[in-house]
Amino acid sequence: MDLESKLNVFQEFLDCAEVRLWHFNGEMRLLSGQDDGSIFETLFRIGGGKQLIHEYSMKNDLPGFCSDAASLLWLAIPQHIETILTDVYVIGPVFGSVTYEQTLLDSLRKLQFSDNLVREASAILEKIPTVQHTLLVQYGVMLYRCLTDVKLDPADLQLITNSVPKRNASSAMDEEFISRDGTYALEQQLFQAVENGNIHYQHPQEIFSKKAGVLCLGNPLRHAKNQLVACLTLITRAAIRGGMPEEMAYSLSDWYIQMSEATNDIAEVYQYSQEAFKDFTKRVHKLKLSSGRSKEIQECMSYIELHFQQCLTLETLAKSLGYSKNYLSSKFTREVGMSLSDYITHIKIEHSKIWLKNTNKSIQEISDELGYNSISYFSALFRKQTGFTPTAYRNRIE
């Protein structure tokens, strides 16, 4: 099937969801998609989406998505011949969540839209569909496949932004509440999964039974949004420690915050929180792959993170991952800089430190949960790695 036929089929698919597809040339002159002077093209231009996308497309090949000053979402796919921008395909505009007329009116007035356009706010709301972020990303993956025949990973989509807000290093999040009921320990496991790019991490079931503090008494929606911001602050830091560039991490964080602020649905806010965790983790994972560690070693490290409470040996890892012992052992040491057994010990001790600091588990319980048959052996390994016995380490941070 030729490109034109593919695009026609894709256009029909989008039409079913009332989502628009635009085609611009390299100078952002409209070739197809809307009649010149339409209300949508006006929104695209005055809201700032057109300029953002053009500037992004001049320097990038991968699809990118942005939110403009009117809270409209756009997804763009640039096309280049050598280094020359020739075409830009744009999906949008869409709202990322249910948007109320007053919200749109306020945005249009701030942008100094004409009175006629402001009066059409209700008509605009009827014509612009609401599409969740994850579905918009899938549209972008599908269009990219049509244009290039390349199957793109959703984590490859970029966030288009023209600024990165400055962050206050002395954030209130530095004063983290450490409880002994295990909630903090579970959170640290989650953030460690982001830092390690562990795409196989699964939330322990007990995390859903933990009660979080009340961040906004009497307003469950505001509480959920505040909770998302707090979680994103820590996820962003974990991703940066894992190798994600600061600009990318903060921009992605701001994106999810903007999306959550635009909705009045509590379920959507919590969904954005889960999406953010998966998105950050997957991006860190891909960055680690591109930094020189092979897919096999990343799989091995993720497997260790997922099964750190088991008794892991070279034999069990090689069998589970489908590699020979010699191949896995030598490749791991070469790429990671330590032996496989030392890395397993390192991961186990790191988790034991979390438990010692943030739970009331006994030393024996921690030793048992890490798969060690002897508490003295566990203590010896802990002292070798940290310089303290488990008891001394716990007393030191009291």
Give the max Cα distance, the chain: 78
What's the CA gap between 75 and 88, in Å, rounded?
10
- Give the model's confidence band at 105: pLDDT under 50 very low, under 70 low, under 90 confident, else very high: low
User: Who wins on pLDDT, 206 or 170?
Assistant: 206
Q: Is 183 exposed, middle or buried (0-12, 13-18, 19+ CB in 10 A)?
A: buried
Question: Confidence class of residue 310 from pLDDT cuts 50, 70 and 90?
Answer: confident
What residues does CATH 1.10.10.60 cover in the chain?
295-396
Instruction: Name the CATH architecture for the domain at 295-396.
Output: Orthogonal Bundle (1.10)
Q: What is the mean pLDDT of the chain?
A: 79
* pLDDT score for 204: 53
Q: Is the peptide bond before 93 cis (omega within 30 degrees of 0)?
A: yes
Q: Using the CB atoms, write b or e for 88-119: b if 16+ within 10 Å.
A: bbbbbbbbbbebeeebbbebbeebebeeebbe
**pTM of the full structure:** 0.53
Q: Which ranges in 149-245 belong to alpha helices (H)?
A: 183-196, 220-241
So what's the pLDDT on residue 144? 93
pLDDT tens per residue across span 145-160? 999 988 888 777 887 8
- How many residues comprise the chain? 398
Give residues with Cβ within 8 angstroms of 170, minimum separation 6: none
The whole-angstrom separation of Cα 37 and Cα 33 is 12
Containing 24, the helix (H) or strand (E) segment is: strand 21-25
Q: Write 240-246 long-range contacts (CB < 8 A, 24+).
A: 241/195, 242/194, 242/195, 242/196, 242/197, 242/284, 242/287, 242/288, 243/284, 243/287, 243/288, 243/291, 244/280, 244/283, 244/284, 244/287, 246/164
Q: What is the pLDDT of residue 162?
A: 61
| pLDDT for 376 | 92
User: Between 114 and 332, where is the model more confident?
Assistant: 332
* Number of Cβ atoms within 10 Å of the Cβ of 241: 15
Please name which of 208, 177, 185 lies closest in space to residue 274, comparing C-alpha atoms.
208
CB count within 10 Å of CB 223 equals: 18
64 bridge partner residues = 76, 158
- Highest-scoring range by mean pLDDT, 88-102, 199-213, 263-277, 322-336: 322-336
- Give the model's pLDDT for residue 207: 44
Termini Cα distance of the chain: 67
Of the listed ranges 108-117, 257-266, 307-316, 323-332, the one predicted with least confidence: 108-117
CA 42 to chain centre: 31
